[in-house]
Structure 1
Amino acid sequence: MSPQLLLKVDVCWAAIVGLCIMYPSQVVNYHARYQRMALEAGGPSCRARGMTMEAIFFPFLRKTSQRTTELLQVAESTWQRDRPSRSVGTH
């Protein structure tokens, strides 16, 4: 993973977290960018936290609880399979 890409991923994540509080409707654009960069970066924790955030959004978008459950299961298995030695919430 390149340091530049990881920095972009982290900045995008910070924007998502900040916007969730004040402007939740704006999060969708940043989340889509984050997901693309997380997949490109390849870090399991990046992918897992992106899927977790998406699962959090689903109830607000009136998506099924089954899809939310599936996303959380995939995120958990991704995290468990390639768990870094650092704490949860970091990569």
Structure 2
Amino acid sequence: MTLLLYCKGLLHTLNNLHYTYILNLHLHLHLDLDLDLDLDLDLDLDLDLDLDLDLDLDLDLDFHLDLDFHLDLDLDFHLDFHLNLMHFFYFDVVFLIYLIS
């Protein structure tokens, strides 16, 4: 009978396992972006318009754009996930004390 109680307590202990999981993930992302944009726009427009009014329009447009863009991005990402298996032998100890006494 005592051995039956001990086995029953041991099975109960095995059914009450507690789990904790650990995962360590470290991600380092470094993004270095250099953007050099050189835009030359030449617009030459000749417009002749005849109305009752004589209008002669000559339009020269020179457009120049320099754009320097620099992006330096450092990203550190940490994720901790823990894995730990714990087994509690409460019933084993109780029934071993019972058997000894």
Larger Rg: 2
TM-score (norm 1): 0.25
Structure number with higher relative contact order (C-alpha < 8 Å, ≥ 6 residues apart) = 2
Bigger share in helix: 1
